[in-house]
Amino acid sequence: MKSGSFVRSLGVGILLATAAPLQLLSFNAYANTAPVAALPASIESNVSSLDAAWNSRHEMHAKIVDFLKRKQALPEDYEVLWRLSRLSYYGGFFALPSGSNSEEKMEIFQVGVDSGDKARRAAPARVEGHYWYAVTLGGWGIAKGILNALSSAKPMREALTEAIKIDPKYHYAGPLRVRGRLYNKLPGVISFGDNKLALEDLKKAAHLAPESKLNHIYLAEVQNKLSGKAEALKTLEYAKTLPDVVGVTEEATYRKDISTLESKFR
């Protein structure tokens, strides 16, 4: 696989987290909450402000990016740390202006990597830190380049495996979805790519969270490789019937992905 195609294939929502994934408690993206303009100068102990930013994220891209670029000292509060990592996932994959360069993306994702890593060390028995650390680490690796994407894969898998042990249903079965995506998109010769393992994880993700379009999109890509286009197209057709369950921006992206894959598989 050429390096350029590998990086693109590992792209938005690899991980999703994923933000997406990038995987998650079930959050209401349409909640009537305070706008991200309420984000404080300090992130210390501001869980409600970070939740408001998340719930209003599709309307506040520039403000989220500006907030993440402040490079504030990380707090000790676990609840703040994982939410900051979650916001970094969205900032890096969705909120940055089109055409942002690698350095800008890395700057945003680094906030999530650092806060997610600190969160998972502070509360290793909680799922959120492991998951958002993995998702933002993946985003950072993609932005940095092919070799870093590969070198990030092992710590991502380790964090995702731990998240699966704790709560495989988190963020619409995000830990299983993202690990399955890793198995699907990584090369098997120089890394641990394995489409059979990918299929196993993604079938579990689709079973645990059938309402997630992204679970079915990723499953269809593996089915197309292992079973053929008929099964893959059937999965995509089902995904099109699902209502929106996550953010406005993410769901719009998923609908485009479904259309693109249908055209590719036919």
Across the strands, what pairs with 24?
A: 171
Q: What is the pLDDT of residue 146?
A: 72
The mean of the pLDDT values for the chain is 86
Residue 102 has pLDDT above 60, yes or no: yes
Domains of the chain by residue range: 3-197
Q: How far apart are CA 43 and CA 67, in angstroms?
A: 9
The token pair at 94 is: 């969705």
Residue 6 has pLDDT above 70, yes or no: no
Q: Per-residue pLDDT tens for 19-45?
A: 333 332 222 332 334 444 456 566 655
Residue 14 has pLDDT above 50, yes or no: no
Q: How far apart are CA 262 and CA 265, in angstroms?
A: 5
The token pair at 225 is: 């490789």
Q: What is the pLDDT of residue 167?
A: 98
Q: What is the pLDDT of residue 26?
A: 27
Q: What is the pLDDT of residue 35?
A: 46
Q: What is the pLDDT of residue 40?
A: 58
The token pair at 237 is: 């057709």
* pLDDT more than 70, % of the chain: 83
Closest to 168 in 3D by CA, of 150, 180, 151? 180
Residue 129 C-beta-side C-alpha neighbours within 13 Å: 19
Residue 13 has pLDDT above 60, yes or no: no
Q: What is the pLDDT of residue 145?
A: 85
Angle at 23 between CA 20 and CA 25, to 5 degrees: 130
Q: Per-residue pLDDT tens for 225-249?
A: 999 999 999 999 999 999 999 999 9
Residue 8 has pLDDT above 50, yes or no: no
Residue of higher predicted confidence among 246 and 148: 246
Q: Residue 255 — very low, low, confident or very high, per pLDDT cuts 50/70/90?
A: very high
Q: How far apart are CA 66 and CA 84, in angstroms?
A: 13
Q: What is the pLDDT of residue 198?
A: 98
DSSP 101-130: -HHHHHHHHHHHHHHHHHHHHH-TT-HHHH
Q: Residue 46 — very low, low, confident or very high, per pLDDT cuts 50/70/90?
A: confident
**In CATH, what is the architecture of 3-197?**
Alpha Horseshoe (1.25)
Lowest mean pLDDT among 7-11, 53-57, 61-65: 7-11
Q: What pTM does this model have? A: 0.85
Q: Residue 190 — very low, low, confident or very high, per pLDDT cuts 50/70/90?
A: confident
